Amino acid sequence: MTDSILCVGELLWDQLPTGLSLGGAPFNVACHLRAAGQHVQMVSRVGRDELGVRAIDGVTRHGVGPELIQVDATLPTGTVRVSFDVAGNPQYDIAAPAAWDAIQWTPALLEAGSVAEVLVFGSLAQRSAITRATITRLLDSPALKVFDVNLRTPFADAKILQRSLERADIVKLNHDELRQIISWFGLPPGLEGGMSALAREFDCRLVCVTRGRHGAAMWRDGAFSEHAGFRVEVADTVGAGDAFLAAVVSALLAGHDDETILTEANLLGAYVATQIGPIPAYDRDAIARIRASAA
């Protein structure tokens, strides 16, 4: 277990067809890391409203440290309207502006960043100048920097992505985002060629690409590997990639080999996809059945 992992960015309420669910990619990652036994703090900002109070309470109930969550006097707590297409893929309508657009640099953040062992950050939270500047300063931390690419229209920005990739040690993205990055930066086409070129171009230690029902691929320190994934009955895919990333980080910190990292990450992502919402309670028997089904 690390002394401290900081997850920085959007903390918001997903407005799902089934009702409100506390989420945001960095928060989802934080919850799954905490479930793996890690000590995690959430860095975000909520409004001085009922949803903000409920959000901080939810963070605390999940065992994630809330001390670095700021409260904004004017901007509301973030919300996202989530709908699903005929194939079951989520579509996001992200409210703007929101409190998480205004995460301020503070002495407490300076202190937390100086001692953190891992810093998880994403691209979506950098849509605003204020939060982007705060994340940029946090990236001066000596921590292992984990970048979660999260390209959401209309907030996808090649310049922001480039600056983030240049600072990242570990990068997680999906296959559509890899194609976009290949196009933006003129990298070789294809899965393995694109991943290895991305890693070399931006001096990344590890790159993971999730591929939905086709599993995932990883480039780590010059070696490429793949996992075919687990066949499951999907309830919704919201948060599956966040669970995948948390499992990658936990397995990497535990010193596991590439095969184990990909297996555990695909397993947790597959389990979350069988559940409603991004941070379901873990049913160990159900997870064991998914693992056994691959045999």
Which of 16, 38, 18 shows the shortest CA–CA distance to 29?
Answer: 38
How far apart are alpha carbons 174 and 259 in whole angstroms? 19
At residue 295, the pLDDT reads 66
Is 181 exposed, middle or buried (CB count within 10 Å of its CB: 0-12, 13-18, 19+)? Answer: buried
Q: What is the pLDDT of residues 110-128, one digit of tens each?
A: 999 999 999 999 999 999 9
How far apart are alpha carbons 248 and 245 in whole angstroms? 5
What is the Cα 117 distance to its own chain's centre?
17
Q: What is the pLDDT of residues 224-245, one digit of tens each?
A: 999 999 999 999 888 999 999 9
Q: Which tokens sit at 41?
A: 């703090």
How far apart are alpha carbons 266 and 240 in whole angstroms? 9
How far apart are alpha carbons 102 and 232 in whole angstroms? 39
Q: Which tokens sit at 165?
A: 């990739």
Going through the chain in order, the beta strands assigned E by DSSP cover: 5-8, 12-16, 19-23, 40-47, 69-72, 78-84, 90-94, 118-122, 144-148, 170-174, 206-210, 216-220, 223-227
How far apart are alpha carbons 148 and 25 in whole angstroms? 8
How far apart are alpha carbons 13 and 27 in whole angstroms? 11
What's the pLDDT band for 61 if we cut at 50, 70, 90?
A: very high
List Cα–Cα distances, 248 to 148, 159, 171, 186, 197, in angstroms: 12, 26, 11, 27, 21
Q: What is the pLDDT of residues 124-183, one digit of tens each?
A: 999 999 999 999 999 999 999 999 999 988 888 999 999 999 999 999 999 999 999 999
Instruction: Give Cβ neighbours of residue 200 (< 8 Å, ≥ 6 apart).
Output: none
